[in-house]
Structure 1
């Protein structure tokens, strides 16, 4: 299971996998860059999971977080993040998988109908993010027309989430904050995230 080992490279057969790359593709909604999956964290709207992930790299710098989240596009937000890499959390490499898992669960929790249906459509196939450059979060061509190789960490997190919630038919109603030091947004401790359905039931 991926929680035990996400560091090894794997080979995926393209024709037997759900492969996504661009947000306008059939499974483009699986991408962190995809529009239409807004997030609500500590009374703040974050347009997509890419912006949230990049912002959490700079937990101790609310000004950088604001600069990232206020952008009009996730790609621009990612470029802003790269500009400030020297101010990343010192433990970022140790926690980034946990942070990405949290971001994806927030995306699922707050966009359940749309995102759960997309994950359900992947069946039990391997989910792979195709990338020509990034073999950590994604996978790239292996010299064979029908193969991709990489750690595919994002795809494996999506498969983990699919198994835990979609295949088990267990609706995600709450996402707790990570138990790490300085898990902050705009200088405030991040609170538990709840789905829209919980708000509807309470009101």
Structure 2
């Protein structure tokens, strides 16, 4: 992915979760997830946990944090133990995490995506220019903006395919795609059944709720 230049006036730029489009951030706390029957507070925590499929104890440490920023900090302490192919698979994993966020929070997240219209979506970053873009002056941001570009890709899928295309998200076809010591299973939309046994095709009810009883602060933070 190459760097791009964005004009602030022609873009939806988000930085803090309390701002109008802060829900686009992985740090946003109003979009709880459930993967393999494990409740996860934010897409940031899910993404960070995916760094360590071989270390379920580290995954649990990340997921149990009440703050997404704290979850990220816990992950950072173990970066030297990240899966060996992390730099090759991290964009695929982020794309999958965003789709899980969408499928389990369809109404709120799809509406937020569509509210951006056809504008560029840009995560403003103070330090890093891979997932976001850094301001170079008051009107211009420069960076790879990988997260923003994935969100724009997802927005286009929502527009062209609709909710029927997001009833079930399959696990990624990568090695060692595990959570808490078990292969990650298909993720279903709320109130749907998901087939998790490919041999018997017997469906299991997937207990995902649109509103999980999680009391979590929603701090401002960078996604």
Provide the TM-score with structure 2 as the length reference.
0.85
Instruction: Report the 3-state secondary structure (helix = DSSP H, G, I; strand = E; otherwise coil) of the residue aligned with 1:196.
Output: coil
Instruction: Report the structure, 1 or 2, having the larger helix content.
Output: 1
Alignment of 1:22-41 (within 5 A): 22-41=16-35
Corresponding residue for residue 51 of structure 2:
57
Instruction: Please tell me whether residue 127 in structure 1 is matched to residue 152 in structure 2.
Output: no
Alignment of 1:20-99 (within 5 A): 20-99=14-93
| Over 6 Å off, 4+ runs | none
Whether the aligned pair in 2 keeps the contact of 1:106 and 1:193 (CA below 8 Å) is: yes
Question: Which of 155, 159, 166 is residue 152 of structure 2 equivalent to?
Answer: 159
Q: Give the alignment's Cα RMSD to 1 decimal.
A: 1.2
Contact 1:173 1:197 in 2 (8 A): no
The match for 2:143 is: 150
- Could you say which residue in structure 1 is the equivalent of 2:171? 177
Cross-structure match for 2:187 = 193
Counterpart contact for 1:65–1:185, Cα < 8 Å? yes
Which digits, 9 at most, give the CA deviation of each residue in 1:163-182, with x for residues without a partner? 112x1152111110001111
SS in 2 for 1:168: helix
Q: Secondary structure at the match of 2:192?
A: helix
Q: Aligned with 1:45: secondary structure?
A: strand
Aligned length: 193
Answer whether contact 1:140 1:148 (CA < 8 A) is retained: yes
The offset of 1:197, in angstroms, is: 4.4
1:41, distance to aligned residue in structure 2 (A): 0.3
SS of residue paired to 1:114: helix
Counterpart check, 1:114 vs 2:115: no
Task: Note the residue ranges of structure 2 that are not aligned, 5 or more in a row.
Answer: 194-203, 206-223
Question: After superposition, what is the alpha-carbon deviation per residue over 1:30-85, rounded to whole angstroms, capped at 9, x for unaligned?
Answer: 00000110001001100010000000000100000000000010000000001001
What 5-or-longer segments of structure 1 have no aligned partner? 1-6
Taking structure 1 as the reference length, what is the TM-score of the superposition?
Answer: 0.93
Among candidates 2, 6, 14, match of residue 8 of structure 1: 2
